[in-house]
Amino acid sequence: MKVLQLSNKPPQPIIDGGCIAINNIATGLLEKDIDLKILTVATQKHPFDEANFSNDFLNVTAIEGVFVDTRVNIIDAFSALVTSDSYNVSRFFSPDFNKRLIQLLENGDFEMVELERLFMAPYISTIRKYSTAKMVLRSHNLEHLIWDRLANSTGNTAKRLYLKHLASKLKKYEYQTINEVDAIAAISFEDTSRYELLKCDPPLKTIPFGIDLDKYPFDNDTETVPHSLFHIGSMDWEPNKEAINWLLDDIWPQLAQMDVSLHLAGRKMPGYISQQSNDKLIVHGEVDSAIQFMAAHEIMIAPLLSGSGMRVKIIEAMGMGKAVITTKIGAEGINYTHGVDIIIADTAEEIVAAIQKLINNSNLVKEIGDNARKLIETHYDNDKIIDNLIDFYQTLLS
């Protein structure tokens, strides 16, 4: 099977959850001997550099990056406010990228084109014109839901109205797009259900995010910091920033009196957060290894109030046997059992109570962590997930 993967960012270096999700699909397909070609958007935020890839990966995928200036242009953004365009998506369209795509389609004889996220949707008409390949939208989340939830959680009236407007335009665009592709591979059962409510005609299949368990140490010899809480996530993603603001404003003041420490890591850590670092609240910023950082601490806290899809870092932490405390929104896409393999807490009071319970019972921390690892082994092993994805492809082609 010959597959063209179009991505909105390079799969490597692996600097955020989106990169991990794209990379795991690519490497998983390659391990199954799929003939894969990758064409990726490169931006100022996510540049393309061949030095980030192994020679084998470069040779097998012949990956190419085309620079697209996705920086917000005030004039274009304002124009989109009064037109039907979704500026969030349209800024990913580039004549240069489109030209290279046409060349690949005319010469590539692809059977399948995978669109990573909604941001690749502006190229659907080009693919239809120059190829007979089936198109699958790999939906990492419903984009409009992220903005709608951000709107609902803000107390600023003007900001809420603006975010609601963005969410409405994205929802309309998503509604139009879902019936232009041949199939949708949604990352969670919740998102699959939402697509069904949008009256999605193409075939739908839930293909969750998976990890290569061999890369995530379990029962390792790393000494953890006792009673240490941690959060890791890119801080240029608005839901993560919102979560940490809530954590520091409403939750940490109650935790600071306990025998705990809080460790915060992630790219683009805002200065106002770094300035709060002290003996108990340790702001690490960007770390060299997310896996080593998670291994060194006991309990993940992910108090997400918005977002959509699956939270990659939660899956990774559970795969390492960490006890995780998160909200219902944070746990979306995970086939969890509350109190068994994860703890769900939706209010500041519930989160504080959950942390108090765990730090007073080290056996419970280990029990939840062990169960979390078993859950990931059963449902989120990337090898099994790629098999399901390829079966979906083959069904579409037949």
Q: Do 255 and 173 sit in the same domain of this protein?
A: no
Q: Do 306 and 158 sit in the same domain of this protein?
A: no
What letters, b where the CB count within 10 A reaches 16 and e where it falls short, cover 261-270?
bbbbbbbebe
Give the CATH number, domain containing residue 321. Answer: 3.40.50.2000
Answer whether residue 334 shows pLDDT above 60. Answer: yes
Q: Do 393 and 299 sit in the same domain of this protein?
A: no
| Range 242-254 average pLDDT | 96
Task: Give percent of the chain above pLDDT 90.
Answer: 74
Name the pTM for this structure. Answer: 0.86
Q: Do 78 and 101 sit in the same domain of this protein?
A: yes
Q: Across the chain, where does the E strand assignment appear?
A: 2-7, 35-42, 64-67, 112-116, 134-139, 183-186, 204-206, 225-232, 261-265, 281-285, 297-302, 323-326, 343-344
Q: Do 290 and 240 sit in the same domain of this protein?
A: yes
Answer whether residue 66 shows pLDDT above 80. Answer: yes
User: 80 to each of 8, 72, 188, how far by Cα in Å?
Assistant: 20, 12, 30
Q: Do 25 and 170 sit in the same domain of this protein?
A: yes
How would residue 300 be classed by pLDDT, with cut points 50, 70 and 90? very high
Q: Do 199 and 348 sit in the same domain of this protein?
A: no
Q: Do 176 and 253 sit in the same domain of this protein?
A: no
Domain of residue 349 covers 213-379
Q: Do 178 and 224 sit in the same domain of this protein?
A: no
SS3 319: helix
Number of domains in the chain: 2
Compute the distance between CA of residue 14 and CA of residue 383 in angstroms, rounded to an integer.
Answer: 19
How would residue 91 be classed by pLDDT, with cut points 50, 70 and 90? confident
How would residue 177 be classed by pLDDT, with cut points 50, 70 and 90? confident
Q: Do 160 and 219 sit in the same domain of this protein?
A: no
**For residue 360, how many other CB atoms are within 10 A of its CB?**
12
Q: Do 79 and 162 sit in the same domain of this protein?
A: yes
Q: Do 71 and 197 sit in the same domain of this protein?
A: yes
pLDDT on residue 369: 96
